């Protein structure tokens, strides 16, 4: 019924995006949603840089160098690359890996093989986000709970059970939606960042020598002085920039300017001050390396700090969980995953959704990560490699957008791209060192999901080809109908069609078994475009076919809500009324049968068949009324 397409549409109308709030409200909301992940990085980053495995001496010179590396990673990777440059590569206001992939694919539309390669590259980058969605909740909540060891050492054994309890509770409440708690995300994270800034300033005042870290030459001296061992340290420094992709992915919700304002005027200064403060603390008291973040606080404030860090960790986790829902729905509508149940948790905000299958799969993954790794330090080995590979893929895709679509001069684009590719490659190499310490986990998960997505995409393409190959041409069928070939029911029939040029199997079955046609027969094709939004003015295309038949195409973007009955109401303005209480929807329930060895490999055939069998309901996904749906089975050879 649905087919992803790369079709040029005109600029969407004003009905596409919901009306945005004011700049101040959007900036506050962006702080709460976008920066939760990167905002919790101070819980564990500095500690991991000076972990025994890195071999970095804990002295003033190396403290200045390490903090300088963190600061300039924030400046180069986050500020320069993402905040100033990548945020400009929006797809009709939307950002994120799949939106950028669609832009890059459109830019090379005249080269089909390259377009297919970029689509697969972008999809692989998207799969890596799921690894982040598992590791971020685990490492953030464990990192926050490890404050128990500092506040009350006797409670150390409770860190894992309490962390698991918080995480289970977080996933359980997802089905109720986040509208109510979402309103407090922004203020809580603002308090969190202000706390980071103030505690950092207090210790900087005691050890102002740490301000030498603002000199980029200190970062250079630190990196070059480590020799090949610098890769061990880079894997820890990367922890300071995890969550960066959220800036781009959430652009559609808040807009570019609020995200930039929040970063430049609150998030970056607060993070920089806190990292500098941790460096200053360790210069004065090297024993604080056991947990330099919580040791920033006086004893009287440890419990409030623990409570605030826990809230910040929960908010950071919520951001990636919601992102996993959104990414999954986009992948479904682009044709890379089978349909899944999507529940809307807000009557006002279309973007607030809950996907049970994704939710429980994530909970299982997060719980397994907590039980297997047991601490934020152990999880740090798994963190980073997926993030840095996503950054590298983003740089590659952006090249095709700025060079092919925007047609910027090579003199400007080539040096910038080479520079960022070099930085990204260095970060990936640093994280690859941690492959056997846990870095394999997000890559294995990404590889598995990529296998599933590519199998589904290829299987659906072959199924569509089989329908076209074996089907009866719609035009020939209509032309061959005799006026009295079958009685006509005084209703409207909507037949879902994956290929609108052939007769839907449901129509043939209905005619064969019930020996009846309807007065109005709509051959309905739902088309998802490689665009985030398609406006209501372009939602419906109608083609009269004669003898009571019409071909109706509904156009949706991968961020649009595919509400078919609502879209069909627009047909009346074009002279084709579709009365909701006089309309029946006929759907084909396909069973796929391997045709020959020329298709997918045998095991992938079986995998595709299993995915198809377990796909969610067409009626539920397209919001068809339950009491107006008729499903008829059919076998398709692929």
pLDDT digit string, tens, across residues 596-635: 555 566 788 788 888 888 888 888 889 999 889 988 766 6
Nearest 5 degrees, angle CA 312-CA 316-CA 322? Answer: 140
Angle at which helices 410-432 and 385-400 cross, to 10°: 160
Name the pLDDT band for 8 (thresholds 50, 70, 90).
Answer: very low
From first CA to last CA, the distance across the chain in angstroms is 17
Residue at token pair 């630190």: 222
Assess if residue 463 is contained within a domain: no
Q: Is 135 left (phi over 0), alpha (psi -120 to 50) or beta?
A: alpha
Tell me the pLDDT tens digit for each residue of 236-273. 999 999 888 778 877 777 788 988 999 999 999 999 99
- Ranking 427-436, 532-541, 595-604 by mean pLDDT, the lowest is 595-604
- Give the residue from 107, 561, 176, 133 showing the smallest Cα distance to 363: 133
Same structural domain for residues 394 and 513? no
Domain of 165 in residue numbering reads as 2-12+33-458
Name the pLDDT band for 6 (thresholds 50, 70, 90).
Answer: very low
Assess if residue 351 is contained within a domain: yes
Same structural domain for residues 241 and 341? yes
Domain count, the chain: 2
Percent of the chain with pLDDT over 70: 91
- Ranking 29-38, 133-142, 389-398 by mean pLDDT, the lowest is 29-38
Listed in sequence order, the residues at least 6 apart from 56 whose beta carbon sits closer than 8 Å to its beta carbon are 49, 50, 62, 66, 226, 233
The mean pLDDT value of the chain amounts to: 86
Same structural domain for residues 434 and 574? no
- Give the residue from 376, 380, 326, 388 showing the smallest Cα distance to 355: 326
DSSP for 218-266 reads HHHHHHHHTGGGHHHHHHHHGGGGTTTHHHHHTHHHH-HHHHHHHIIII
Q: CA 555, CA 533: separation in Å to the nearest integer?
A: 9
Q: CA 384, CA 240: separation in Å to the nearest integer?
A: 10
Domain boundary among 423, 458, 493: 458
Q: What residues are paired with 520 via a beta bridge? A: 492
Distances from the Cα of 497 to the Cαs of 24, 301, 505, 595, 600, in angstroms? 46, 63, 8, 21, 23
Helix (H/G/I), strand (E/B), else coil: 343: strand
Same structural domain for residues 448 and 550? no
Assess if residue 111 is contained within a domain: yes
Assess if residue 17 is contained within a domain: no
Residues recorded for the chain: 638
Assess if residue 20 is contained within a domain: no
Which pLDDT score is estimated for 16?
46
Same structural domain for residues 45 and 169? yes
Same structural domain for residues 84 and 187? yes
Q: CA 439, CA 232: separation in Å to the nearest integer?
A: 13
Assess if residue 25 is contained within a domain: no
Domain boundary among 458, 491, 511: 458
Same structural domain for residues 440 and 492? no
Same structural domain for residues 418 and 488? no
Domain boundary among 430, 458, 486: 458
Same structural domain for residues 153 and 83? yes
Assess if residue 24 is contained within a domain: no
Same structural domain for residues 560 and 438? no
Task: Please state the pTM of the whole predicted model.
Answer: 0.83
- Say if CB 567 and CB 15 are below 8 A apart: no
Same structural domain for residues 136 and 204? yes
Residue 179 confidence (pLDDT) above 80: no
Q: CA 282, CA 51: separation in Å to the nearest integer?
A: 13
Residue 7 confidence (pLDDT) above 50: no
Residue 15 confidence (pLDDT) above 70: no
Assess if residue 323 is contained within a domain: yes
The CATH number for 294's domain is 1.20.1740.10
Same structural domain for residues 405 and 534? no
366-373, Cβ contacts within 8 angstroms, sequence gap of 24 or more = 366/134, 366/137, 366/138, 366/167, 366/171, 367/164, 367/167, 367/168, 369/134, 369/135, 369/138, 369/441, 370/138, 370/141, 370/142, 370/160, 370/163, 370/164, 370/167, 371/160, 371/164, 373/138, 373/438
């Amino acid at each position: 019924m649905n087919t992803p397409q790369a079709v040029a549409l005109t600029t969407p109308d004003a009905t596409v995006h919901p009306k945005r709030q004011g700049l101040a409200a959007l900036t506050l909301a962006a702080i709460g949603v976008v920066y939760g992940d990167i905002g919790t990085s101070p819980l564990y980053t500095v500690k991991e840089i000076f972990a025994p495995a890195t071999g970095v001496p804990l002295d003033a010179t190396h403290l200045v160098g390490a903090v300088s590396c963190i600061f300039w990673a924030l400046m180069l990777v986050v500020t320069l690359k993402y905040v100033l440059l990548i945020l400009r590569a929006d797809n009709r206001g939307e950002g994120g890996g799949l939106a950028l992939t669609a832009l890059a694919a459109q830019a090379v539309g005249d080269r089909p093989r390259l377009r297919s390669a970029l689509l697969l590259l972008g999809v692989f980058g998207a799969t890596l986000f799921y690894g982040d969605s598992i590791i971020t909740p685990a490492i953030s909540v464990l990192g926050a709970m490890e404050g128990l060891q500092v506040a009350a050492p006797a409670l150390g054994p409770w860190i894992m059970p309490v962390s698991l309890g918080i995480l289970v509770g977080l996933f359980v409440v997802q089905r109720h939606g986040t509208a109510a708690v979402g309103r407090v995300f922004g203020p809580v994270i603002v308090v969190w960042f202000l706390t980071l800034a103030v505690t950092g300033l207090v210790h900087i005042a005691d050890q102002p020598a740490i301000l030498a870290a603002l000199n980029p030459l200190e970062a250079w001296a630190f990196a070059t002085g480590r020799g090949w061992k610098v890769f061990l340290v880079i894997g820890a420094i990367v922890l300071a920039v995890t969550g960066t992709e959220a800036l781009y992915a959430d652009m559609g919700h808040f807009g570019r300017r609020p995200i930039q304002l929040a970063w430049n005027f609150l998030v970056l200064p607060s993070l920089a001050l806190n990292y500098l403060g941790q460096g200053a603390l360790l210069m004065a008291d090297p024993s604080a390396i056991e947990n330099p973040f919580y040791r920033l606080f006086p004893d009287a404030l440890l419990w409030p700090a623990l409570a605030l860090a826990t809230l910040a960790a929960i908010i950071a986790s919520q951001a990636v969980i919601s992102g996993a829902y959104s990414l999954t729905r986009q992948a479904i509508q682009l044709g890379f995953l089978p349909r899944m149940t999507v529940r809307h948790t807000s009557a006002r905000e279309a973007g607030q959704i809950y996907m049970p299958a994704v939710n429980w799969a994530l909970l299982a993954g997060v719980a397994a990560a907590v039980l297997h790794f047991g601490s934020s330090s152990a999880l740090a080995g798994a963190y980073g490699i997926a993030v840095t590979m996503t950054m590298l893929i983003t740089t590659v895709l952006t090249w095709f957008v700025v060079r092919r679509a925007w047609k910027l001069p090579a003199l400007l684009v080539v040096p910038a791209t080479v520079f960022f590719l070099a930085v990204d490659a260095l970060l990936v190499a640093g994280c690859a060192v941690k492959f056997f310490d846990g870095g394999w986990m997000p890559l294995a998960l990404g590889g598995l999901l990529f296998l599933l997505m590519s199998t589904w995409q290829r299987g659906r393409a072959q199924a569509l080809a089989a329908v076209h190959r074996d089907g009866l041409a719609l035009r020939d069928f209509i032309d061959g109908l005799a006026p009295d070939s079958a009685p006509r029911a005084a209703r409207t029939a909507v037949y879902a069609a994956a290929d609108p040029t052939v007769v839907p199997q449901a129509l043939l079955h209905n005619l064969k078994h019930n020996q009846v046609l309807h007065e109005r027969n709509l051959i309905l094709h739902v088309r998802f475009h490689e665009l985030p939004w398609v406006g209501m003015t372009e939602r419906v295309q109608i083609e009269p076919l004669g003898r009571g038949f019409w071909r109706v195409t509904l156009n949706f973007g991968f961020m649009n809500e595919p509400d078919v009955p609502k879209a069909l109401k627009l047909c009346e303005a074009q002279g084709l009324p579709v009365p909701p209480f006089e309309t029946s929807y006929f759907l084909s329930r396909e069973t796929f049968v391997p045709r020959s060895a020329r298709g997918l490999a045998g095991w992938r055939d079986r995998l595709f068949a299993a995915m198809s069998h377990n796909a969610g309901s067409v009626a539920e996904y397209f919001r068809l009324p339950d009491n107006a749906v008729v499903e008829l089975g059919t076998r398709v050879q692929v």
